Amino acid sequence: MKNRKKQFLKLGIILLAIAVTGTVAGIIQYKKANQFDLTVAEHVISKEEYLNCMKAVEYDTKIQIQQEYGAIYEDDFWKKQYDGKHGYEILADNTVEELKHIHAVYDLAKEQGDITDSSYEALEKRWKDENAERSEKVEKGEVIYGLKEYTFQLYLDYEISTLKEKYCNDTNREGMKLTEDEIQEHYQSREWIFGDSDENADLEMARIAVERELREQKYDDMITQRETGSQVVGNMENVNRLTLKNIQ
């Protein structure tokens, strides 16, 4: 009788262990299936980075959907389907595209030595450091140029613009040396008018503007190429779910 009780006790413990193991495994699988998982150009994207970027493109995406599909912005706007795709899925796609663009800019800047770290965390630190420095100057009564404090998005826009300008101003960088044929061709591609005059400016008068626009165009093409070759890996179903959950 005692042996039979011991056998039942052992069997109960084994069954309990199996049940617990199964429950834990189920929880782990559930968490894994529902966790945010997105990598863009080898950069692991955090929820914070994704949501910051999503908010930045949300308005433009809303306008895009309204213009392309004649949609009216109302309560179920993001849940409606447009050519077989929900509004929040279009927003998720646009967010990923913007992330590809941002990381293309910062990866190129790192390669050129303009920044030492192209990660989101490094960008966030530079933003906070810039605001701290401006705040300190304000307290000391020193003159500051521009805003007293940047929002994250304004700082991102400012830094991206600065990195582009720095690249385009350096004629030793790839694509920034222009031949006279390129300059002539770009000049002839459209009219160049200065001031209130309706007359076309000749090449020598327009040269600075022509060269600047041509370099910026080449830079933009370089970034676009990098975006096109940028790999995106992750669980888009969960990305879409997070997008819907956080739309205003």
With tokens 């093409």, the residue in question is 221
Q: How many CB atoms lie within 10 A of CB 50?
A: 23
With tokens 């669980």, the residue in question is 235
Helices of type H across the chain: 2-34, 47-69, 87-111, 120-139, 152-168, 180-187, 203-228, 236-246
- pLDDT score at 35: 83
User: What's the pTM?
Assistant: 0.83
Q: Rounded to an integer, what distance in angstroms lies between the CA atom of residue 160 and that of residue 91? A: 22
Q: Which of 245, 239, 246, 220 is nearest to 94 (CA)?
A: 239
Q: Which of 234, 220, 240, 243 is nearest to 43 (CA)?
A: 234
- pLDDT score at 234: 95
Mean pLDDT by 10 residues, the chain (248 residues): 57 54 44 76 96 97 97 95 97 98 98 97 97 94 91 97 98 96 96 79 93 98 96 95 92
* φ and ψ of 178, to 5 deg: -110, 140
- pLDDT score at 12: 55
- pLDDT score at 8: 54
Q: Rounded to an integer, what distance in angstroms lies between the CA atom of residue 169 and that of residue 214? A: 12
Q: Which of 154, 61, 175 is nearest to 112 (CA)?
A: 175
